[in-house]
Amino acid sequence: MTDTVIIAGAGPTGLMLAHELALQRVPVVVVERRPGPTDALPGMAINATVVDLLHQRGLMDHVGEYGFEFPRAHFAQIWLDPVRVPGRHGYNFVISQTNLVRVLAERAAKQGAEIRWEREVVDLAQDDAGVRVTVRSPGGQEVLTGRFLVGCDGPESAVRRLAGIDFPGQDLPFLGIVGDLEVGEDHPLLAYLGAGEFPGGLLTVGPLEPGVVRIATAEFDLRPADRTAPVTTDELRDSIRRLDGAELGDATPRWLGRWDAATRQADRYREGNVLLAGDAAHVHFPLGGQSMSTGIEDAVNLGWKLAATVHGHAPVGLLDSYQAERYPVAARAGRTTLAQMVLLHPLGHVAPLRELLSEMVELDEVNEFLVKLAYALDVDYPVPADQVAGETHPLLGRRLPDVPLRTGAGETSLAELLHAGRGLLLDLAGGAGPLALPGWDDRVDVVAAAPSDEIDAARVLLRPDGRVAWAQPTGTDRTEPTEGLGRALATWFGPARASAAG
Ligand SMILES: Cc1cc2nc3c(=O)[nH]c(=O)nc-3n(C[C@H](O)[C@H](O)[C@H](O)COP(=O)(O)OP(=O)(O)OC[C@H]3O[C@@H](n4cnc5c(N)ncnc54)[C@H](O)[C@@H]3O)c2cc1C
């Protein structure tokens, strides 16, 4: 078997994972059944968590030119005010999923990942050593061998089915249409720009480029006559009429597709050498950019753990921490998006509750709670009990805001120090020099920086995904590595190199 990691699906999750693995010098092959990049992708925005994760790898520098900052958030389309939340907290970014995917594909390839289009995973076998993946292409079938296969192949995931993993949950009666329309200057649909709620469901119209709008209809309590049939212009026309009596008028579709209101989650994220991430592992109603953020943070969580396993220095249980950390996040996203659906339909019934909630979000604490939920900034990972024994800290398991830092080499930022995807011991104690970690210097960088008011710790150990693995309280002993730091290093990075241990 080879060390190659095979990824099924070149969506945002698969490409982010390919980037993470290639950054760690793991051979990666992405197989994608589409013939090439497509404009027919539904997403229009990424939330603050995705923005942070992209900054952390320097990818916002490439994504930035395709969109704009949108410092708003909503809960069930009740608008929140992120600007009122104290501290540094990021922003939503409006970008089409098409452009996001294009940039991620370019950056992953630049790091060395190989993307093979028009290759569909159709069969799978595995043993202790790795996987054999049968892939169909126009030229016939071939078998790829690798160490791991990661199914990032979306809601209908073939990898999940072939691995025998269930996908329990619920599908509500729903008729959803999404697509891009070429419209004239005074087109009647332009009066609907934004996200509107109606008794039958939702109508969202967003500007995509001059003369083109992205439209999404969502009708609750209805089902398409044939879910597999292509959407026709007449079907879209009828849907818009049912929602608000509006007329589609003279509009030319560039593409139209269907979407569902399913909330489902794989019963496990790993079966031997096969793992799942993104929509292949969980689906929920797409509200507020939580969908891609759950998938992209899956990829960032999994990438360095798979890489450590392939490179042979993963501590016991590292790969299993992927499910332990990420399953509860998607489960909560499923629950909180279901809660939002309850607030959206039937509108007449829930209107008083929406009115009450609209008043409540004027309260700073309610606004902050919901902004953090929509931005996925409230996600903490549980820290293994044997690691913390006696040494706990409120920052453990959290991501830190991207704060500016001053080091001996000049001005930098926390995100910049994480670009290489390595562990980072950030020494903010202001002492004579940073701690030395000779046994881990192949995996962990040590950087001393001037103390920051925005990080309440003397030292923090960050994992490659930016999560705090250990923190030393401000004002405590500055000179000696503590036992807790040693335990955290061993838990997340494995034992010290034998040659450096003594
Ligand atoms: C109307 C609508 C609007 C949305 N808006 C947003 C938004 O604004 N923000 C947001 O965060 N999310 C949004 N979402 C959700 C978002 O689109 C998904 O969460 C996201 O696409 C999931 O990414 P993924 O990479 O996990 O899966 P996918 O994007 O589904 O990618 C899976 C890939 O795998 C490929 N594939 C499938 N089967 C195989 C196979 N057997 N072999 C090889 N390749 C295969 C597919 O062709 C596809 O390219 C929206 C969804 C909808 C329906």
Residue ranges lining ligand 1, Cβ < 6 Å = 8-14, 31-34, 42-46, 97, 120-121, 152-154, 158, 178, 216, 259, 278-279, 286, 289, 291-293, 295
Tally the C-alpha atoms within 13 A of residue 156's C-alpha that lie toward its C-beta.
7
Residue whose entry in the numeric block shows the structure tokens 């120090």: 417
Helix H or strand E encompassing 282: strand 282-283
Cα dihedral sign, 12-10-272-157: positive
Output the CATH code of domain 5-169+263-348. Answer: 3.50.50.60
Residue in 452, 329, 468 with CA at minimum distance from that of residue 397: 468
Which amino acid appears at position 114 of this protein?
E
Q: Which residues contact 294 (CB under 8 A, 6 or more apart)?
A: 278, 282, 329, 330, 333, 376
Residue 205 sits at φ, ψ, to 5 deg, of -130, 125
Q: What is the pLDDT of residue 501?
A: 47
Per-residue pLDDT at 116 exceeds 50: yes
Same CATH topology for 173-260 and 385-501: the answer is: no
Q: Which ligand 1 atom is at minimum distance from the Cα of 157?
A: 38
**Alpha-carbon span 103 to 108, nearest angstrom:** 8
| Average pLDDT value for residue range 358-367 | 98
Percent of the chain clearing pLDDT 70 (strictly above)? 97
Per-residue pLDDT at 478 exceeds 60: no
User: How many Å lie between the centroid of ligand 1 and the Cα of residue 204?
Assistant: 19
Q: What is the pLDDT of residue 426?
A: 95
Per-residue pLDDT at 356 exceeds 90: yes
User: How many Å lie between the centroid of ligand 1 and the Cα of residue 442?
Assistant: 36
User: How many Å lie between the centroid of ligand 1 and the Cα of residue 11?
Assistant: 6
Fold of 173-260: Alpha-Beta Plaits (3.30.70)
Tell me the pLDDT tens digit for each residue of 481-501: 678 898 999 999 999 987 764
- Which tokens belong to 345? 């339909």
User: How many Å lie between the centroid of ligand 1 and the Cα of residue 322?
Assistant: 21
| Average pLDDT value for residue range 16-23 | 98
DSSP 3-state assignment of 146?
A: strand
Ligand 1 atom 20 nearest Cα: 292
Ligand 1 atom 10 nearest Cα: 289
| Average pLDDT value for residue range 144-167 | 98
**Alpha-carbon span 399 to 314, nearest angstrom:** 22
CB burial of residue 310 (10 Å; 0-12, 13-18, 19+): buried
- Residue to mutate, 279, 296, 297, ligand 1, most ligand atoms under 8 Å from C-beta: 279
CA distances from 455 to 178, 391, 404, 459 (A): 43, 18, 11, 9
Which amino acid appears at position 64 of this protein?
G
Output the CATH code of domain 385-501. Answer: 3.40.30.120
Q: What is the pLDDT of residue 502?
A: 43
| Average pLDDT value for residue range 450-465 | 94
Per-residue pLDDT at 480 exceeds 70: no
Which amino acid appears at position 153 of this protein?
D
Residue whose entry in the numeric block shows the structure tokens 């030119």: 65
**Alpha-carbon span 161 to 337, nearest angstrom:** 25
Helix H or strand E encompassing 367: helix 364-374
Per-residue pLDDT at 445 exceeds 70: yes
Per-residue pLDDT at 113 exceeds 50: yes
**Alpha-carbon span 266 to 277, nearest angstrom:** 10
User: How many Å lie between the centroid of ligand 1 and the Cα of residue 414?
Assistant: 30
Beta strands in 68-113 (DSSP E): 68-70, 73-75, 78-80, 92-94
| Average pLDDT value for residue range 341-358 | 96
**Alpha-carbon span 377 to 359, nearest angstrom:** 23
- Map out the domains of the chain as residue ranges: 5-169+263-348, 173-260, 385-501
Percent of the chain clearing pLDDT 90 (strictly above)? 85
**Alpha-carbon span 42 to 45, nearest angstrom:** 10
Mean of pLDDT over the chain: 94
CA distances from 46 to 30, 64, 293 (A): 23, 12, 7
Which amino acid appears at position 391 of this protein?
E
Asked whether the beta carbons of 285 and 338 are under 8 A apart, the reply is yes
Residue 367 sits at φ, ψ, to 5 deg, of -55, -45
User: How many Å lie between the centroid of ligand 1 and the Cα of residue 257?
Assistant: 12
| Average pLDDT value for residue range 277-304 | 94
Q: What is the pLDDT of residue 416?
A: 98
- How long is the chain? 502
Q: Which ligand 1 atom is at minimum distance from the Cα of 12?
A: 25
Q: What is the pLDDT of residue 433?
A: 60
Question: Residue 463's Cα: distance from chain center in Å?
Answer: 17
**Alpha-carbon span 350 to 299, nearest angstrom:** 36
Ligand 1 atom 31 nearest Cα: 11
Q: Which residues contact 124 (CB under 8 A, 6 or more apart)?
A: 131, 132, 133, 134, 149, 159, 162, 163, 274
Q: Which ligand 1 atom is at minimum distance from the Cα of 295?
A: 26
Tell me the pLDDT tens digit for each residue of 32-42: 999 999 999 99
Q: What is the pLDDT of residue 201?
A: 96
Q: Which ligand 1 atom is at minimum distance from the Cα of 122?
A: 41
Q: Which residues pair with 404 in a beta bridge?
A: 413
User: How many Å lie between the centroid of ligand 1 and the Cα of residue 474?
Assistant: 43
Q: Which residues pair with 1 in a beta bridge?
A: none
Asked whether the beta carbons of 483 and 319 are under 8 A apart, the reply is no
| Average pLDDT value for residue range 413-433 | 90
Residue in 97, 272, 290, 467 with CA at minimum distance from that of residue 282: 290
Tell me the pLDDT tens digit for each residue of 64-106: 999 999 989 999 999 999 999 988 778 999 999 999 999 999 9
Per-residue pLDDT at 448 exceeds 60: yes
Ligand 1 atom 29 nearest Cα: 11
Query: Which DSSP symbol is given to 60?
Result: H
Full DSSP string of 426-473: EE-S--SSPPP-GGGTTTEEEEEB---TTS--SEEEE-TTSBEEEEE-
Tell me the pLDDT tens digit for each residue of 365-396: 999 999 999 999 999 998 877 776 667 899 99
Residue in 76, 44, 374 with CA at minimum distance from that of residue 205: 44
DSSP 3-state assignment of 266?
A: coil
β-pair type (274-276, 148-151): parallel
Q: Which residues contact 343 (CB under 8 A, 6 or more apart)?
A: 75, 76, 78, 350, 353, 354, 357
Q: Which ligand 1 atom is at minimum distance from the Cα of 41?
A: 17
Q: Which residues contact 305 (CB under 8 A, 6 or more apart)?
A: 314, 318, 319, 321, 322
Residue 252 sits at φ, ψ, to 5 deg, of -110, 115
Q: What is the pLDDT of residue 497?
A: 86
**Alpha-carbon span 487 to 467, nearest angstrom:** 16
Cα dihedral sign, 440-444-449-451: negative
Query: Which DSSP symbol is given to 193?
Result: B
Ligand 1 atom 52 nearest Cα: 42
